[in-house]
Amino acid sequence: MTVLIGCGPDPEQLKIEALQALSVGNFSQAREISTRALEQVPESEKRLSWSLERIRLEALAREGQGADALEALERLAAEYPDQAGASLYLAIASYLQDAGDASGAIDILVAGDERFPGESAKFEAQIRELQAGGLDPAEIERLRSLGYL
């Protein structure tokens, strides 16, 4: 058996580790592992890159990092337009809402509504759910100014 010194897990193994961390709620570890794996993925392996980016994005959202999640999601929507659809925007907004970042969830929903006008009803429904869950007055006013309420 040959042991290579200095060689760590390959990106596929790191993806498994990141998914495990995500599944047990260790979001910062999932984000760190997926980021490390992304640094090792060859540019030609788009499928693996997308999987790792998706894990990293979900971890950001579940940590309540709305601004970072929005930035990553908008970048991914440009790089992976077939994968980053309306359902991903809705899911990320839901994760942010669950993490207590209603403002971040609103940002994601508004961005998704702008990017996918044909899916407006879904975004508006989730905004109404968000409102029903309780928003602070500034968030309510913001939604009013944007025409959602």
Percentage of the chain beyond pLDDT 90 is 76
Percentage of the chain beyond pLDDT 70 is 95
Neighbour tally for 28: CB within 10 Å: 13
pLDDT(1) > 80: no
Report if pTM > 0.85.
yes
pLDDT in tens, 57-86: 999 999 999 999 999 999 999 999 999 999
